[in-house]
Amino acid sequence: MPEEIKPTPEEIDNKVKELLALKKTLIPQSSYDSRPIKNKLSYDLQPMKLLTHFIKTAIVIAIIALGIFGYGYWQGHQGVQPVLDWHGKEEMVSLNDHYLHILKDGTMEILDSDKKTVLKKLTVKDFENLKKNLRPYGLVFEPVAVGGLGVSNAGAGFEGGIGLRYFKYFKWVTDICLTNAGFYPFGISYKLTDNTAVGLSVGTGFKKGERGFFERWLLKFTLKF
């Protein structure tokens, strides 16, 4: 048998290099430059970006303009005097110390207790306030002057100060009072008129022996400022 010839490592390495060089010549290398297409695509997209930006800007401007117009329209109608379809009738409605006068033409006005003196011609804006005042319950903010008889284990005496009504329920109101003799965070009063009320408060006194809560009681009269 003929003797088998084994290639040396150098020969194997040279052969591999030849094959790799041959592969490069068989596979054509593209010399096509894709940058012009990318540039053209970027150029073609510019109008779309501008159009999108313009639409977004137009929407924002439209929203702002509508908000300004809506607010102006609302403000402009607050001073309009509403007209009721009252079929030519005239009515008088009691509002505590005042009266709501519905005229024959459907317009409304607030009269004083004498039912003659016109205090105000009602407009659209007044109806929210009127609705709030006519509601029999809810939060209120009414500063009052306070005077009455305070009683505790340490003694009794007349005292005066200020207070705040903060909630109403029909003729009843809750209040908080501060006088020269004590602090009364819990109080309830019954309204005699829109401005005056009588009631009872409980709290703490400033003297020794009455500084705990529920140590001093106040039978009071309040007058709204």
Task: For 134-182, write each residue's pLDDT tens digit.
Answer: 678 888 899 999 999 999 988 899 999 999 999 999 899 999 999 999 9
Look at residue 74 and tell me if it is in a domain: no
Look at residue 148 and tell me if it is in a domain: yes
Q: Looking at 63-77, 95-109, 167-181, which range is the least confident one?
A: 63-77
Q: Of 82, 104, 134, which residue is a domain's last?
A: 134
Same domain, 115 and 152: no
Look at residue 55 and tell me if it is in a domain: no
Q: Residue 147: which domain range?
A: 137-224
Same domain, 154 and 188: yes
Between 65 and 44, the higher pLDDT residue: 65
Residue 1: the pLDDT is: 47
Same domain, 142 and 214: yes
Same domain, 142 and 206: yes
User: Within its chain, how far is the Cα of 38 from the centroid?
Assistant: 52
Burial class (CB within 10 angstroms; exposed 0-12, middle 13-18, buried 19+) of 29: exposed
Same domain, 97 and 129: yes
CA 62 – CA 105 distance, rounded (Å): 40
Q: Looking at 120-129, 157-166, 216-225, which range is the least confident one?
A: 120-129
Look at residue 192 and tell me if it is in a domain: yes
CA 208 – CA 64 distance, rounded (Å): 63
Distances in Å between the Cα of 6 and the Cα atoms of 9, 16, 18, 20, 169 are 9, 16, 19, 22, 114
Residue 122: the pLDDT is: 78
Same domain, 188 and 205: yes
Q: Looking at 4-13, 115-124, 185-194, which range is the least confident one?
A: 4-13
Angle of CA points 74, 76, 82, to nearest 5°: 90
Predicted TM-score (pTM) of the model is: 0.47
| % of residues, the chain, pLDDT over 70 | 68
Same domain, 173 and 188: yes
Same domain, 145 and 212: yes
Same domain, 114 and 188: no
Q: Domain total for the chain?
A: 2
Q: Of 134, 149, 169, which residue is a domain's last?
A: 134
Same domain, 120 and 160: no
